[in-house]
Amino acid sequence: MFIIKQRKFFFIISAILVLLSIFAIYQIGIPLGIEFTGGTIIELNYDIAANRPASNELSTKLADLDLGQVLIQPLGDKAFLLRLKTINESEKENLVSISGGSEARYSSIGPSLGRELARKGVIALILTMILIIIYIAFVFRKVSLAALAGEAVSSWKYGVIAVVALVHDAFIATGFMVFLSKVLGLEADSLFLTALLMIIGLSVNDTIVVFDRIRENLRHPEGRHFDELVGKSILETMARSINTSLAVVLVLMAIYFLGAAGTKNFALIMTVGLIVGTYSSIFLASPLLVTWQKFTARRAERKG
């Protein structure tokens, strides 16, 4: 089967994408929003509605102050709510005078709260990966006993490969997010973390469907070798993988173009993660299974 035969080519593509992402993350860094770092909220009041500038007008004015990203939300018809990084007293005064409004409220998100979310986020990512290895090892616990003499792959290897695929997806999605932050100036918020965890979940979802088919085909090998069975399984599940991804991408597009402002970036990052996730379950995870099986077989041969 084409994908299995040319697997090295796809491995190289994946490696390049992951390396590019790591490079981007290392060079640019993940731009953390105020939910992670702590930050400031300022409420600006205008005495009459006509005195209040348009959001984008205020945004251009504030751009000169170099305060980083300032999120502007209208409150009622005479006020703005600004969210930005922690600023000092003189910067705040500049901001208020430039805005033409009066400061109605000034409050901040404590940095401790932000650090806590960041720490919890890292714990959540690691925890999800561990749970998924355990889960797959459990679900596929009988797969190593399948009737393919000498070519069986033990169940924990399925788990490890699923995790390799999801790490691949998470890195590329994060790399894309970093790229977007350069282009669109968006910042990582708690919904970015949510998107990352969901990408992981859905990536494994896809991988499991293919593995599940491999498990089933292993029960009736009909004289086929392991690599042929994996190729057959990929072909059999390909339509499903593509159609499901298409359905999810359709709803994500609806969220991106029509949904609430706060969930736009979430939908965009999820879309990329989902496409990469589908790619990795077909072109990375299953071929890796074959590579690992061949490697083990060769070593056993040399020993024997």
Partner 1 sequence: MAIIMSQKILIHLLTWRFSTIMAKMLKRRILSIVIIILAAGLAYFIFSDIRPFHLGLDLRGGSHLVYEADTSTLAPFDIADSMESLRGVIERRINAFGVSEPIIQSETAGLGPEASHRLIVELPGITDLKEALNLIDATPVLEFKEERPEGPEKEAIKKTITDFNAAIKEGEAPPQDISLELLNSDPNFIPTALTGRYLKRAQVAFGQNSISPSISIEFNAEGAKLFADLTEKNLGQPIAIYLDGKPLSAPVVRDVIRDGRAEISGDFTLTDARDLARDLNLGALPVAIKLLSTETVGPTLGQEALDRGITAGLVGLLFVASFMVFWYRLNGLIAAISLAIYIVLVLAIFKLLPVTLTAAGIAGFILSIGIAIDADILIFERMKEELRGGKHLHEAINDGFARAWLSIRDSNLSTVISAVVLFWLGTSLIKGFALTLIIGIIVSLFTAITITRNLLLAVAPGHQSSVVKFLFGHGLKR
Closer to partner 1 by Cβ: residue 96 or 253: 253
Instruction: Tell whether residue 235 is a contact of partner 1 (CB under 8 A).
Output: no
Q: Residue 273 Cβ, how far from partner 1 at the closest point, in Å?
A: 12
Closer to partner 1 by Cβ: residue 2 or 257: 257
User: Of 86, 144, 154, 205, which one interacts with partner 1 (CB under 8 A)?
Assistant: 205
103: left (phi over 0), alpha (psi -120 to 50) or beta: beta
User: Of 5, 9, 23, 120, which one interacts with partner 1 (CB under 8 A)?
Assistant: 120
Distance CA 228, CA 226 (A): 5
Q: Residue 124 Cβ, how far from partner 1 at the closest point, in Å?
A: 5
Q: Residue 215 Cβ, how far from partner 1 at the closest point, in Å?
A: 9
Contact segment (CB under 8 A) with partner 1 among 18-26, 56-64, 109-117, 225-233 equals 109-117
Sign of CA dihedral 260, 266, 272, 277: negative
Instruction: Please give the backbone phi and psi of residue 134, each rounded to the nearest 5 degrees, phi first.
Output: -60, -45
Residue 219's contacts (CB-CB under 8 Å, 6 or more residues apart) are 146, 147
Q: Residue 200 Cβ, how far from partner 1 at the closest point, in Å?
A: 6
Instruction: Tell whether residue 135 is a contact of partner 1 (CB under 8 A).
Output: yes
Q: Which of residues 141-180 bind partner 1 (CB under 8 A)?
A: none
Contact segment (CB under 8 A) with partner 1 among 6-14, 58-66, 150-158, 186-194 equals 186-194
User: Of 65, 253, 275, 297, which one interacts with partner 1 (CB under 8 A)?
Assistant: 253
Beta strands 102-109; 39-45: pairing state:
antiparallel
Placement of tokens 């088919």 in the chain: 213
The burial class, CB within 10 Å (0-12 / 13-18 / 19+), for 139 is middle
Q: 128 and 170 in contact (C-beta within 8 Å)? A: no
By C-alpha distance, which of 164, 234, 244, 235 is closest to 202? 244
Instruction: Tell whether residue 50 is a contact of partner 1 (CB under 8 A).
Output: no
Instruction: Tell whether residue 54 is a contact of partner 1 (CB under 8 A).
Output: no
User: How many C-beta atoms lie closer than 10 Å to residue 121's C-beta?
Assistant: 20
Distance CA 281, CA 276 (A): 9
Instruction: Tell whether residue 209 is a contact of partner 1 (CB under 8 A).
Output: yes
One-letter identity of residue 144: S
Closer to partner 1 by Cβ: residue 246 or 300: 246
User: Of 44, 146, 170, 270, which one interacts with partner 1 (CB under 8 A)?
Assistant: 270
Q: Which residue intervals of 6-110 are DSSP H helices?
A: 7-28, 34-37, 55-63, 89-99
Per-residue HEC secondary structure of 48-78 comes to: CHHHCCCHHHHHHHHHCCCCCCCEEEEECCC
Instruction: Tell whether residue 261 is a contact of partner 1 (CB under 8 A).
Output: yes
Instruction: Tell whether residue 289 is a contact of partner 1 (CB under 8 A).
Output: no
Number of residues that bind partner 1 (CB under 8 A): 73
Instruction: Tell whether residue 229 is a contact of partner 1 (CB under 8 A).
Output: no
Q: Residue 159 Cβ, how far from partner 1 at the closest point, in Å?
A: 11
Closer to partner 1 by Cβ: residue 149 or 260: 260
Contact segment (CB under 8 A) with partner 1 among 13-21, 56-64, 206-214, 285-293 equals 206-214
